[in-house]
Amino acid sequence: MQNNSLIGRVAWNTLITLLYLFLLAPIVIVFIISFDTRQYLAFPPESLSFGSYVKVFENVKFISAFWRSLAIGVIVGVVSVSAGMLLSLSLVRYKFRGKAAVNFLILAPFLVPHIVLAVGIMLVIAPIGLLDSYPGIVLAHLGITIPYTVRTITMSLMAVDTRVEEAALVHGASPAMVFWRITLPLVRPGLIAGAVIAFLISFDEATISLFIVSVKASTLPTEIYHYLEYSTDPQIAALSVILILISIGVVVAVERLVGLRRAI
Amino acid sequence: MADHHVIIDNLVKTYPGAQKPSVDHVSFSLPRGEMLALLGPSGCGKTTILRMIAGLIAPSSGAIRLDGRDVSAIPVYKRNMGMVFQAYALFPHMTVAENISFGLEMRKVGRAEREERVRKALDLVKLAGFGERKVSQLSGGQQQRAAIARSLVIEPELLLLDEPLSNLDAKLRDEMRDEIRDIQARTGVTAIFVTHDQDEALSMADRLAVMSAGKLEQIGTPLDIFDRPQTHFVASFIGAGTFFEGRVAGPGLAEVDGLPLLHFAGEAAIGSSIKLMVRPHRLLLAGEPGQPNSFSGVVEHIVYRGQILTLSVRCGSRVLQADLPTHAGVLPKKGDNVTLTVAPDDVTLIGREAA
């Protein structure tokens, strides 16, 4: 009996360890390759240097695409949270005809493959002349980020006791004041979590972006994709490591700030 | 009545889709400085009335007058009400002082005056020094004090309390009961509180308004309500009692089922149907069989409750409830034959429902 359970525990721990190794292996390999000095992707590296990192920072296309992606991500984050707040308020606080339908529509992008969404969004955006423009890519990204922000904000909003808002009303706060001073601060974790998720999705998104942008509004993921079409060198690995570090940085900062795990 | 501070005039609330109104033509009034309890079982409409007075819900018809002015059309945030919610509803993201200061900020009171008034409010509810605490660091009783301070600091027209004691444990409840009464008396604020607990209502309120199924059954002092109930509902909701339906056989004399003639106080037309009630503590273990208002029977059931002993005595077809003080010499046992007696003054004539 004693033996059995020991063997079981060892087997279980091994399985978990292997699973984590499998999940983390690509990141570890990319990290190691990013220091390789050769001009093609291979493992293990022959000699190590920071050369690829220097090249990434000297690559004008990458750097300008990075700033574009950052700006697009920030705008997408802010707009999805604003729209998500309004949608959540209407879904949580009001009863209206067709509420179930709205709820489903908000959920729908979760269920549709991105490639299908991409074609659909392109067909909508093309006739109004927004292909390869900032408004176009922002709109396209909002289509996939709003479902997430609505989820996080709805969760926070449902946890707000409406009697607290009533107490504010009774003690002299106008409905607008109640919103600013009570409701908004109380759903803050949901707002921040939603904004971060929306930013990260927008910042990483490649499939839909490839259909929408070409030159003027190209994002970092689309630039990476185009770069990979013609060359495969450790620059890509170095860039990937930088992107991973940025994502981790954002998540850690938010976790410190509000407790992301609680917010989601 | 017309010069009363608060006048509730024919208030009706029917929720959309509801068959019956939740509040059905309720009228009452309070002089300045009075504490009124709205008492009734859950779902009787008492909380709906409180919320209408606060302005959180709009009446279907009727008026709410403060100093003669109808406030029904004034939005909730301009009514200048103070309200203590059942679970206190403090703002969880603010400190105690910020909670109390909130109403003053909304009224654009300057910082220095705000701080001074918050300090006084904290003193009033015995929370001096707790201003910088977070709401989550307060005990239930302290949260309630903070909620009371938040409501009083704005010097409200009216203090509204929704089941203020129901979230506290028994010992704290007794303490806060006196505390709330004391704060109300010291500030002189007119107050209305909602409760389903008769002890709370009897001990805290100047007057009680007893409600049932959306209607006001009776309004009066605790003594009125307890000793002179106007309806069967009031008589049975407040305190225990044995009820008799009968017919008036002579002056102060009633024929009731299964018992000898019952002598009662009060006037009723001979031949009319009446309802009578005897409170358990008014029945005495005394008298001889055959004497007026004496009933002999067998003890069917005994409940010992410390200071009192509750007997269920079968007299013919009726069971009488009697509370005896436990210091009263030899106490009866189950199966004993006993004679109970009640003074005619203690046989209460209930309203005129059946007339």
Distance separating alpha carbons of residues A73 and A203, to the nearest angstrom: 5
Distance from CA of B195 to the nearest CA of A (A): 18
The confidence score (pLDDT) of residue B355 equals: 33
For B41-57, b/e burial (b = at least 16 CB within 10 A) is eeebbbbbbbbbbbbbb
Is the pLDDT reported for residue A92 higher than 70?
yes
How many residues are given for chain A?
Answer: 264
Averaged pLDDT for residues A178-188: 94
Give the residue from chain B lying closest to A187, CA to CA. Answer: B93
Closest by CA to B195, choosing from B208, B214, B179, B176, is B208
Average pLDDT, chain B: 88
In this predicted structure, which of A33-37, A106-110, B44-48, B135-139 has the lowest mean pLDDT?
A: A106-110
B90 contacts on A by Cβ (under 8 Å): 164, 167
Which residues, at least 6 apart from A127, have a Cβ–Cβ distance to it below 8 Å? none
pLDDT band at B353 (very low <50, low <70, confident <90, very high): very low
Is the pLDDT reported for residue B280 higher than 70?
yes
Which among A171, A179, A192 is the top mutation candidate for probing chain B, defined by the most B β-carbons within 10 Å of its own β-carbon?
A: A171
Averaged pLDDT for residues A201-211: 90
**Inter-chain residue contact B93 with A171, CB threshold 8 Å:** no
Closest by CA to A132, choosing from A238, A245, A209, is A209
**Inter-chain residue contact B151 with A172, CB threshold 8 Å:** no
Indicate the residue of B56, B80, B93 with minimum beta-carbon distance to A185.
B93
Averaged pLDDT for residues A213-233: 87
Distance from CA of A190 to the nearest CA of B (A): 15
Averaged pLDDT for residues A239-260: 83
Averaged pLDDT for residues A222-233: 87
A182 contacts on B by Cβ (under 8 Å): 91
The confidence score (pLDDT) of residue B2 equals: 65
Distance separating alpha carbons of residues B258 and A52, to the nearest angstrom: 106
pLDDT band at A259 (very low <50, low <70, confident <90, very high): low
List Cα–Cα distances, B65 to A144, B69, B151, B318, in angstroms. 53, 5, 20, 48
What's the CATH superfamily of B6-234? P-loop containing nucleotide triphosphate hydrolases (3.40.50.300)
Average pLDDT, chain A: 88
Residues B294-310 have pLDDT tens digits of 888 889 988 888 888 88
Confidence (pTM): 0.81
Is the pLDDT reported for residue B282 higher than 50?
yes
Residue A181 is encoded by which pair of tokens?
């001073």
Amino acid identity for residue B54 in this structure: A
Torsion of CA B162, B166, B170, B175, to 10 degrees: -20
Distance of CA A248 to the CA centre of its chain: 12
Higher pLDDT, A48 or A186: A186
The confidence score (pLDDT) of residue B354 equals: 36
The confidence score (pLDDT) of residue B3 equals: 78
Instruction: Enter the ipTM.
Output: 0.83
pLDDT band at A167 (very low <50, low <70, confident <90, very high): very high
Residues A44-83 have pLDDT tens digits of 878 888 888 998 899 898 999 999 999 999 999 999 999 9
Closest by CA to B142, choosing from B164, B127, B123, is B127
Give the residue from chain B lying closest to A169, CA to CA. Answer: B77
Residues B27-84 have pLDDT tens digits of 999 999 999 999 999 889 999 999 999 999 999 999 999 998 999 999 999 999 999 9
The confidence score (pLDDT) of residue A146 equals: 92
Distance from CA of A87 to the nearest CA of B (A): 24
Give the residue from chain B lying closest to A189, CA to CA. Answer: B93
Higher pLDDT, B112 or B270: B112
B86 contacts on A by Cβ (under 8 Å): 163
Is the pLDDT reported for residue B329 higher than 80?
no
Q: Where are the alpha helices (DSSP H) in chain A?
A: 2-33, 51-58, 60-93, 99-111, 114-125, 134-158, 162-170, 175-178, 184-186, 188-204, 207-212, 220-230, 234-258, 260-263
Residue spans per domain, chain B: 6-234, 240-350
The CATH number given to B240-350 is: 2.40.50.140
The confidence score (pLDDT) of residue B164 equals: 87
Distance from CA of A70 to the nearest CA of B (A): 32
Is the pLDDT reported for residue B258 higher than 60?
yes
Residue B149 is encoded by which pair of tokens?
């301070």
Is the pLDDT reported for residue A260 higher than 60?
no
Averaged pLDDT for residues B192-200: 91
Q: What domains, with CATH codes, occur in chain A? A: 59-263 (1.10.3720.10)
Averaged pLDDT for residues A183-206: 92
Residue contacts between A and B (CB atoms, under 8 Å): 65
How many residues are given for chain B?
Answer: 355
Residues A112-162 have pLDDT tens digits of 888 888 899 999 988 998 888 899 999 999 989 999 999 999 999 999 999
DSSP codes joined into one string, A144-194: HHHHHHHHHHHHHHHTS-HHHHHHHHHTT--HHHHIIIIIHHHTHHHHHHH
